[in-house]
Amino acid sequence: MITDECLRPPVLRPGDTVMLVSPSGPTRPERVARGVELLTGWGLRPVLAPNAYARRGYLAGDDALRAADLNTAFADPEVRGVICTRGGYGAQRVVDLIDMVAVRRDPKVVAGFSDITALQFALWRGARLAGVHGPGAAWLDERLPLRSAESLHAALMTTEPVTVAATPDEETFAVRVPGRAVGPLLGGNLCLITASIGTPDMPDLTGAVLLIEEVQEPPYKVDRMLTHLRRAGVLDGVAGVAVGQFTECADGWDTTVTDVLTECLGDLGVPVLGGLPVGHGVGQLTVPVGTRATLDADAGTLTVSPAVR
């Protein structure tokens, strides 16, 4: 049973050091340089983890290196925030190596999305640490306009609640079941949620508002993942479902990803709100995860308590 209790790290303030880590896939220096510029403009002091640019095939270096960078960030009292450079793949391979004692002793805000969902789940399991689902430091201006930067800044450097409104510009806007739900917001990338089933990190979502988003998965694969969640009992007892961006999720069949989401979520008997600009799409906005959320499908809004204090 999910409760509203969570560990909130301190809000980031000008002058704070944030460490840029790569727990998943390899990244490119020119993309990270733009993120460094952005963070510096907010008055933060971004520093690269020792192995931030490491590479081993599709991984940002060996598992031991990626885990070491995370533990270095969590253990260093000078580091006040941990910003993941990108997602990709690989976080699940290192989460069991995280020093949760250090995380609980000196909680820090962790920001990222996509494959970082696995890291957020692990930190929730090991420390009940609230986090931030938002863009990483490998910044791409073409996908992340000013409003995306402002949204991440607000989630990291203010203690105001975050409200995201559904927008007709999003493909999933038509996915909606009326009603209002309240509970901790948990979830993120649908692939990673599904891959967490059967692991210690899969939370009991009873009473929670589930956040889902995805990229480059055709409708039949989205159907497969949601059906798996249903058959595994993961969706039993959820308070509501917040549907973010399902970006480039199309194939040659007539059935759309909106059709799939409506069919697989529409009969759960809980409020469902699609059209939220949260995920891999253009204009991605940031939301806290692990904190109390109000999903109002009638008003078309998701309001989330801050991840920081």
CA 112 to CA 91: how far, in whole Å?
A: 11
Among 131, 157, 183, which residue terminates a domain? 157
CA 196 to CA 178: how far, in whole Å?
A: 29
Question: Tell me, what's the pLDDT at 1?
Answer: 45
Question: Tell me, what's the pLDDT at 4?
Answer: 61
Q: Are 130 and 304 in contact (CB under 8 A)?
A: no
List residues with catalytic annotation. Answer: 114, 213, 280
Give the domain CATH number at 262. Answer: 3.50.30.60
Residue 8 maps to a domain: no
Residue 4 maps to a domain: no
Residue 53 shares a structural domain with residue 138: yes
Residue 207 shares a structural domain with residue 109: no
Question: Tell me, what's the pLDDT at 3?
Answer: 53
Residue 11 maps to a domain: no
Q: Are 245 and 277 in contact (CB under 8 A)?
A: yes
Count of domains forming the chain: 2
Range of the domain at 142: 17-157
Tell me how far the alpha carbon of residue 4 is from its chain's centroid: 18
Residue 9 maps to a domain: no
Residue 309 maps to a domain: no
Among 128, 157, 186, which residue terminates a domain? 157
Residue 184 maps to a domain: yes
Among 157, 181, 214, which residue terminates a domain? 157
Is 0.85 topped by the overall pTM?
A: yes
Place of tokens 């840029």: 20
CA 291 to CA 153: how far, in whole Å?
A: 18
Residues of the chain with pLDDT under 50: 1
Q: Are 164 and 285 in contact (CB under 8 A)?
A: yes
CA 192 to CA 287: how far, in whole Å?
A: 17
Q: Are 49 and 73 in contact (CB under 8 A)?
A: yes
pLDDT in tens, 172-191: 999 999 999 999 999 999 99
Residue 92 shares a structural domain with residue 186: no
Residue 168 shares a structural domain with residue 295: yes
CA distances from 59 to 86, 117, 121, 245 (A): 11, 16, 20, 25
Residue 57 shares a structural domain with residue 142: yes
Residue 77 shares a structural domain with residue 207: no
Residue 10 maps to a domain: no
Question: Tell me, what's the pLDDT at 5?
Answer: 87
Residue 271 maps to a domain: yes
Residue 152 shares a structural domain with residue 234: no
Residue 172 shares a structural domain with residue 244: yes
